[in-house]
């Protein structure tokens, strides 16, 4: 048994164990149990009251006015936050190291203070000289942002209590903050939970909008782990590949706005620049002449977003065909390949398949199935999808194409960017878009729309006859 007041907590899942072991029984992770001292409950040793204090119950109807949101001045950031920061709310911003978390927060605070607000930036990772150097490089040296370098949550709250509460408080990062009430090391589950709770309680009582920056683990989850996400009102992930200069700010949880909303930024030498029309930016360098490319009309949150899905189908040099996917679910690709073979008779599964979402974007919605299938058929047959055509729709295991939600919004975005035609599921509402349409009911009709003929079993549409496995 563990010593009194001591437990072993898994740093991967937060499970508590009475004694140490090499492997966590809950999540299966190895070497993640850390000894932590259990904090004594409030009023321990004192006689508990026999009766609790009653409180009033209220109904759902309310006359309270919606609080006025605090605009940071960065439209893409305010959009993802739900239209600005709600007073007393707590936001958690996570992302890979070097993706630009500290940069976007510093830019948001600088824009907010230039508009007349008060903002405090507390860093537990950098010295004040380093923070000033970065602000000077970004051209924000004259912004009246109040800086501080501290890691003890009691010191931070004592400093904030000396003056009027700020409009926005940023903590960079929450993994470095610790509290004197616990003996555990900074960054452990107990320290993270307690420090975050104290900061969130201060935000609720004072009306300050709290921004917490958090690191992510190798799996892409915010280190902590999920216990921190439950304490805050919104969770934003900052995504971006090192080889691309685009950054995506995505909301995965928001109590005051829509989830799955995204904001697009471009990394420049002076910080992050907003991308007001990401569809035109992601499609700006495509020719639309090569086979294996299809434009997908997607929707991220409330924003329509057009992106290019690229596919390459090549003969396999090995016994097991290769699959490589960037920006899409690999299991979804395997399903689409199986449906094209079983329902359209193409025979793509025996080929090497490479699929890529251009621009470093990541697509999660099922409406991308039809665009991915169109790109695969185009590459396999050697016939390109017209450059002025957009594709969207969900593909079922039976080969049928199902309508996607918000079809009118997708088509209006395509028409605004100069597209003329659309391949879409039958039954999609097409009022007021001005495009010409090619409705398809199943993947066989999709292949006919791209290749101009109905594919025959075992033969690629418009291509040479497939060589059977094992033949010479």
Count CA atoms within 13 Å of residue 451 on its CB side: 28
CA-to-CA distance for 383 and 376, rounded, in angstroms? Answer: 11
Q: CA nearest 248: which of 225, 213, 274?
A: 274
pLDDT of residue 418: 87
Pull the structure tokens for residue 42.
């409030």
Orientation angle between helical segments 189-206 and 153-160, nearest 10 degrees: 10
Question: What is the edge-to-edge ordering of all strands in the sheet holding 6-10?
Answer: 16-17, 6-10, 33-37
pLDDT of residue 398: 95
The alpha helices in 52-169, defined as continuous H runs, are 75-80, 101-114, 128-137, 153-160
pLDDT of residue 46: 44
DSSP-derived letter for residue 359 is G
> What's the CATH class of domain 281-451?
alpha beta
Q: Give the H/E segment covering residue 36.
A: strand 33-37
Q: CA nearest 433: which of 423, 441, 422, 443?
A: 422
pLDDT of residue 257: 87
CA-to-CA distance for 199 and 336, rounded, in angstroms? Answer: 47
Orientation angle between helical segments 443-451 and 330-344, nearest 10 degrees: 80
Furthest-apart CA atoms within the chain: distance in Å: 88
Q: What is the pLDDT of residues 293-352, one digit of tens each?
A: 999 999 988 889 999 999 999 998 888 899 999 999 999 999 999 999 999 988 898 899
> Which residue ranges in the chain fall short of pLDDT 50?
1-2, 41-48, 225, 457-472
CATH, range 75-276: 3.40.50.300
Other CB atoms within a 10 A radius of the CB of residue 461 amount to 23
Other CB atoms within a 10 A radius of the CB of residue 467 amount to 10
107 contacts 271 by C-beta, under 8 angstroms: yes
Pull the structure tokens for residue 420.
């003329």
Q: How remote is the C-alpha of 394 from its chain's centroid?
A: 21
Q: What is the pLDDT of residues 345-382, one digit of tens each?
A: 888 988 999 999 987 788 989 999 999 999 999 999 99
CA-to-CA distance for 198 and 386, rounded, in angstroms? Answer: 57
Q: How remote is the C-alpha of 34 from its chain's centroid?
A: 30
CA-to-CA distance for 400 and 265, rounded, in angstroms? Answer: 37
CA-to-CA distance for 273 and 356, rounded, in angstroms? Answer: 25
Query: What is this structure's pTM?
Result: 0.76
CA-to-CA distance for 329 and 138, rounded, in angstroms? Answer: 36
CA-to-CA distance for 429 and 443, rounded, in angstroms? Answer: 20
Pull the structure tokens for residue 212.
């917490």
CA angle at 195 for the pair 190 and 196, rounded to the nearest 5°: 100
Q: What is the CA radius of gyration of the chain?
A: 27
Q: CA nearest 244: which of 105, 356, 131?
A: 356
CA-to-CA distance for 399 and 447, rounded, in angstroms? Answer: 12
């Amino acid at each position: 048994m563990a010593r009194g007041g001591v437990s072993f907590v898994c740093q991967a899942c937060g499970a508590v164990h009475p004694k140490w072991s090499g492997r966590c029984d809950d999540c299966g992770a190895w070497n993640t149990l850390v000894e932590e001292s259990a904090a004594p409950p409030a009023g321990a040793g004192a006689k508990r009251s026999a009766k609790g204090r009653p409180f009033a119950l209220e109904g759902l109807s309310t006359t309270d006015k919606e609080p006025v949101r605090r605009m940071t001045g960065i439209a893409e950031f305010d959009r993802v936050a739900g239209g600005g920061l709600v007073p007393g709310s707590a936001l958690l911003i996570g992302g890979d190291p070097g993706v630009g978390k500290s940069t976007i927060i510093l830019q948001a605070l600088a824009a907010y203070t230039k508009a007349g607000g008060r903002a405090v930036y507390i860093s537990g990772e950098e010295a004040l000289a380093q923070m000033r150097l970065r602000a000077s490089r970004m051209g924000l040296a004259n912004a009246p942002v109040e800086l501080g370098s501290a890691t003890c949550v009691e010191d931070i709250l004592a400093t904030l209590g000396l003056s009027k509460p700020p409009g926005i408080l940023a903590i960079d990062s929450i993994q470095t903050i610790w509290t004197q009430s616990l003996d555990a090391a900074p960054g452990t589950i107990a320290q993270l939970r307690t420090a975050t709770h104290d900061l969130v309680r201060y935000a609720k009582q004072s009306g300050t909008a709290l921004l917490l920056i958090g690191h992510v683990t190798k799996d892409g989850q915010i280190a902590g782990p999920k216990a921190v996400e439950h304490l805050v009102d919104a969770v934003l992930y900052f995504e971006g590949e090192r080889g691309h200069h685009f950054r995506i700010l995505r909301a995965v949880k928001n109590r005051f706005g829509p989830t799955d909303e995204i904001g697009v930024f471009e990394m420049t030498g002076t910080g992050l620049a907003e991308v007001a029309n990401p569809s035109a930016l992601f499609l700006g360098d495509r020719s639309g002449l090569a086979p294996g490319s299809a434009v997908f009309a997607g929707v991220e949150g409330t924003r329509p977003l057009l992106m290019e899905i690229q596919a390459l189908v090549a003969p396999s040099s090995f016994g097991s065909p290769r699959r490589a996917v960037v920006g899409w679910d690999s299991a979804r690709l395997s399903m689409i390949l199986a449906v094209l073979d079983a329902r359209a008779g193409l025979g793509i599964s025996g080929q090497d398949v490479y699929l890529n979402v251009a621009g470093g974007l990541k697509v999660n919605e099922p409406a991308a199935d039809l665009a991915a299938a169109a790109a695969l058929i185009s590459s396999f047959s050697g016939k390109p999808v017209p450059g002025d055509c957009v594709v969207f729709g969900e593909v079922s295991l039976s080969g049928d194409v199902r309508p996607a939600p918000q079809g009118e919004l997708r088509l209006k975005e395509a028409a605004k960017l100069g597209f003329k035609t659309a391949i879409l599921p039958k039954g999609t509402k097409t009022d007021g878009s001005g495009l010409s349409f090619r409705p398809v009911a199943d993947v066989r009709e999709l292949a006919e729309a791209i290749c101009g003929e109905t594919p025959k079993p075992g033969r690629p549409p418009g291509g040479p006859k497939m060589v059977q496995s094992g033949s010479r």
